[in-house]
Amino acid sequence: MQLSGSDARLATWIPGCDPDLDAARASLAWDALLVVGYVILLAAILRRWWPLYQAPKLKAAERAVIALPVAAGVLDLVENALIFAGLDVGNRIVFDRFTYPDRLALPVTIATIAWVKWLALGLALVAAVMALMLAVARRKESDRPVPAVVPARVAATAAAGQPEGLGVCCSGGGIRAAAFSLGALERLEVAGVMDRAKWLTAVSGGSYAATSWRLVKASDAARPAAADIVAWLEEQIPGSPAGRHRFLRNGPGGLGRSVISAVAYIALYLVVLAALVFALSWPLGWVIGSDAVQPVLRTLGALPDRIDIPAELWLPGVIVMLAGAAVLGVSALPSYRLATLWRPAAGLIALGVALELFLVGAPLAMVTVGAYMHGGTASARAAVLGTTALAGVAGTVLRMASKPVLSRFSARLPELGGLLLVAAGLIWAGKVATDAAVGTGLFRSPITWVAVTASFVGVYLFVGISGPTIHRIYRIRLRRTFGLARDGDGNLWSPPDDEQLTWADMPATDPELIVCCARQRTGIAPGGLPAETFTISRTEVRMGDHVAPTGALVAALPRDLAAERQVASWIATSGAAFASAMGRLSKGSTNALMAALNIDLGIWLPNPRLVEDPHARFPKVRFGYLFKEILGWYDPADRFVFVADGGHWENLGLVELLRRRAATILCIDASGDQVGAFTTLH
């Protein structure tokens, strides 16, 4: 009754029943008790566990989220009161039944309130499930971590006193920079310069060479290292008299094993995202096919050629949007401020648009696309083909009228990959929702929905995203190639994971290795980039202007990030050139597509601002952080921060030597600037 919107629709739903007004009014009273129960339960869950979310957008919505069940409850009570007032019994020839007044105003008002209530209640249920999942995921953690105490040495961003000491920096530039840096380090060794160097900064490809050189010197400081590393890289492939290694050394299973692992990891991410879309879209499709919206879909068991959209369906959204416009109009009065009322007005307008899309747009899209795909009416084909043709004509006119606009669009095209992700998500959601609405097809069963949703929740709670990543494959191959040491005979070899040198075991001798990465961030950092410095050395980790002991970061690493205790593992982090967020090299919405496809060499690491807090815990990095990558949410106050190639912030390593006030700096620059250009210094 609440969603019928008119007496005529109500008559089609309940053509006959026992019209006991006393029983109906008693059920409305019991429903009021149910309202009180779900309001208290949902509000308690959200008040207790929603504040655990640390993403800035989710924290900003905390008050609104907690208010959702209260708003739904108030609307439910108002709806019950109106139904109670308008309920009557009428005789329709044969059957007695409940009736509404013949006027449309009251039934449509009740339906509008009911749709808004169910939308608010649905959002509250989703938020409550999210809060409960977070409660399970963080059941052993403190609720509100206190920011770590900043060590006294962080008070100044640069060392005090006169410049002193020699620093060498190895720039980024991929394998080109690695080769160039090794050659330069070899000449500097011969000249005795490296014996006097106090610091060695390494960025991206330069970190391949610099980290490898420093690891070899750590195992035998007396012997030159660069020439032996070059010889190691030029060795023949075992078992092949003619072939040499190509860039990185393969391990057991060869390159094929890495390719198979990468494909499997990409497939896992896609399955998880598809399961999330399935879990959200199936209930929406089921409601669309119910008596409340378009019962003809489930009655026919197939998509019809056309459907009717009665006023009872499009009026609720219009009414809510008009209410939002009215609130916006009130804000223009002298006694009100726009800043006070624009949020409620925008919320009402957005709510009205959502109702129109759900009650009108989604059913029309199902029927139109279905008719086109299954060779239905000529009008459906004409609509799709006409829209395509119109887009083509508009494109031609645009090209003729403004070639500069087209050239700018072409330049931005690589940044529009996120549109492909949105399109794929809409197509998948449409298929799932259509099967649920029609009651036929592969995904029609509610059992399927329960199984998929339960599987998604299980994966979210118990599977981390640090293991099944391309970063892991990249790290292993780089470690096998550049994570070197000398054996007892003085020969170079690549120790296995459990024998790799860790930061705790790094000798306290010069030059100090400083591996330079970039912490991706939401918004612009000082310097005008959506990234800031993230460096690690034997003694300290720096993120922006904050410094923490390296030992504190290492101790905070969860089990699935244990490999980051090894110095060689940071070669992959500093060299993560291809990531879902790339600072000054960002690819716009394509970042979201790269994150969804797991084409990503970046890594989530414990936040240096929290690692010294004894109450902060760092569990496994769950799929919630993947969703943050897709949405571009990088909060500096979160438990984990996203770290990638140092060249996304500063590609020379020069800033870190200036920060330490080195008196002399030698830049090994293989960044690939054009002749006469100094883009890397920008």
Write the pLDDT tens digit of every residue in 148-169: 444 444 434 445 567 889 999 9
Average pLDDT over residues 424-445: 91
Query: pLDDT value at position 159?
Result: 55
CA-based nearest residue to 587, from 419, 346, 387, 451: 419
Question: What is the pLDDT at residue 151?
Answer: 43
Give me the DSSP letters along 305-348: S-----HHHHHHHHHHHHHHHHHHHHTTSTTS-HHHHHHHHHHH
Q: Which of 182-186, 347-351, 486-490, 628-632 has the lowest mean pLDDT?
A: 628-632
pLDDT over 60 at 654, yes or no: yes
- Provide the b/e sequence for 612-624 (b: ≥16 CB within 10 Å): bbeebbbbbbbbb
281 — pLDDT class (breaks 50, 70, 90)? very high
Backbone angles phi, psi at 324, to 5 degrees: -65, -40
- Structure-model confidence comparison of residues 639 and 150, the more confident one: 639
What was the pLDDT predicted at 278? 96
First to last CA, the chain: 66
Q: Is residue 63 part of a domain?
A: no
String of b and e for 470-479 (b: at least 16 CB within 10 Å)? bbbbbbbbbb
Residue 441 confidence (pLDDT): 85
Q: How many residues does the chain have?
A: 682
The first and second tokens of residue 554, run together, are 């290492």
Residue 88 is classified by DSSP as E
User: What band does 144 get if pLDDT is binned at 50, 70 and 90?
Assistant: very low
- Give Cβ neighbours of residue 648 (< 8 Å, ≥ 6 apart): 518, 520, 529, 531, 579, 581, 582, 583, 584, 585
Domain count, the chain: 1
In angstroms, the Cα distances linking 667 to 159, 219, 237, 484, 631 are 20, 25, 33, 24, 37
Cα four-point dihedral sign 654, 657, 658, 664: negative
Q: At what angle do helices 105-137 and 338-356 cross, to 10 degrees?
A: 100
Give the distance, in angstroms, between the CA of residue 513 and the centroid of all CA atoms in the same chain: 32
The predicted-structure confidence for 294-313, as pLDDT tens digits, reads as follows 888 888 777 887 888 888 88
* 139-146 contacts, C-beta under 8 A, 24 or more apart: 140/617, 140/619, 141/616, 141/617, 141/619, 142/615, 142/616, 142/617, 143/51, 143/52, 144/51, 145/610, 145/613, 145/615, 145/616, 145/639, 146/613, 146/615, 146/616
Average pLDDT rounded to a whole number, residues 458-470: 88
In a domain, 384, yes or no: no
Q: Map tokens 């209930």 to a residue.
A: 283
Structure tokens at 323: 């209410």
| Position 399 pLDDT exceeds 60 | no
What is the tens place of the pLDDT at every residue in 548-565?
Answer: 999 999 999 998 899 999
User: What is the percent of the chain with per-residue pLDDT over 70, rounded to a whole number?
Assistant: 76
329-377 pLDDT, tens digit each: 877 666 666 556 777 888 899 999 999 999 999 999 888 887 666 554 5
Contact yes or no for 95/11 (Cβ under 8 A): no
pLDDT surpassing 60 at residue 428 = yes
Range of weakest confidence among 179-183, 239-243, 443-447, 468-472? 239-243
Residue of 237, 270, 278 whose CA lies nearest to 429: 278
Nearest to 353 by CA among 123, 124, 119, 126: 119
pLDDT for 85:
76
349 domain residue, yes or no: no
> What is each CA distance from 528 to 531, 583, 643, 650, in whole angstroms?
9, 10, 18, 12
- Nearest CA to 601 out of 620, 622, 629, 565 is that of 629
Q: What pLDDT is recorded for position 436?
A: 93
Of the two residues 235 and 663, the one the predictor is more confident about is 663
Joined together, the tokens standing for residue 314 give: 């499009």
Note down the domain range covering 216: 166-249+468-672
Strand runs (DSSP E) across 93-196, as ranges?
95-99, 166-170
Residue 523 lies in a domain: yes
What is the residue type of 600? D
- The radius of gyration computed from the CA coordinates of the chain, to the nearest angstrom, equals 31
- Token pair 């990409």 in the structure block, residue: 266
Confidence check: pLDDT of 184 > 50: yes
In the predicted structure, residue 214 carries a pLDDT above the cut 90: yes
Cis-peptide into 511, omega within 30 deg: yes
* Interval 481-505: pLDDT, tens: 999 999 988 899 999 988 999 999 9
User: Which pLDDT value is given to residue 93?
Assistant: 42
In sequence order, which residues have a C-beta less than 8 Å from that of residue 395 and are 6 or more positions away? none
Give the closest residue to 471 by CA, choosing from 565, 580, 630.
580
Whole-angstrom distance, CA of residue 295 vs CA of residue 328: 36
Mean pLDDT of 636-660: 89
- Pairing type for strands 166-170 and 197-203 reads parallel
Distances from the Cα of 72 to the Cα of 63, 78, 256, 423, angstroms? 15, 10, 55, 32
Instruction: List CB contacts of 655: < 8 A, sequence separation 6 or more.
Output: 533
User: Can you tell me the mean pLDDT for 568-591?
Assistant: 77
Q: CA of 316: how far to CAs of 5, 106, 117, 288, 313, in Å?
A: 9, 12, 12, 15, 6
The amino acid that residue 569 corresponds to is S
Among residues 133, 51, 54, 137, the alpha carbon closest in space to that of 619 is found at 137
> Mean per-residue pLDDT for 269-289?
94
Nearest to 372 by CA among 388, 358, 355, 391: 388
Q: What are phi and psi for residue 229, nearest 5 degrees?
A: -65, -40
- When mean pLDDT is compared across 117-121, 375-379, 588-592, the lowest value belongs to 375-379
pLDDT at residue 21 tops 50 = yes
The answer to whether residue 126 is domain-embedded is: no
The least confident of 9-13, 277-281, 405-409, 536-540 is 405-409
Better-predicted residue by pLDDT, 4 or 167:
167
What's the confidence (pLDDT) of residue 123? 92
Give the alpha-carbon dihedral of 425, 430, 432, 435, to 10 degrees: -170
Stated as kind and residue range, the H or E segment containing 46 is helix 21-49
Side chain identity at residue 429, one-letter code: A
Per-residue pLDDT, 148? 41
Element (H, E) at 451: helix 446-462
Look at residue 150 in the predicted model and tell me its pLDDT.
41
Query: Is a pLDDT exceeding 60 seen at residue 384?
Result: no
- Give the pLDDT confidence score for residue 630 in this predicted structure: 87
Is residue 288 domain-resident? no
Whether residue 606 has pLDDT greater than 90: yes
Residue 461, in any domain of the structure: no
| Report for 399-403, 544-548, 626-630: range of highest mean pLDDT | 544-548
**CB-CB contact of 365 with 357 (8 Å):** no
258 pLDDT band, cuts 50/70/90, is confident
Residue 636: inside a domain, yes or no?
yes
Identify the DSSP state of 609: T
Single out the residue of 633, 640, 636, 644 nearest to residue 606, CA to CA.
Answer: 640
CATH assignment at residue 209: 3.40.1090.10
Structure tokens at 513: 């290795």
What value does the mean pLDDT of the chain take? 82
Confidence of residue 91 (pLDDT cuts 50, 70, 90): very low
Report DSSP state, residue 408. H
Q: Which residue has the tokens 């892991």?
A: 472
Given this model, what pLDDT does residue 417 score? 74
Contact criterion met (CB below 8 Å) for 532 and 669: no
Cα separation, 663 vs 668, whole angstroms: 16
- Report the C-alpha gap between 34 and 41 in whole angstroms: 11
Looking at residue 2, its pLDDT comes to 77
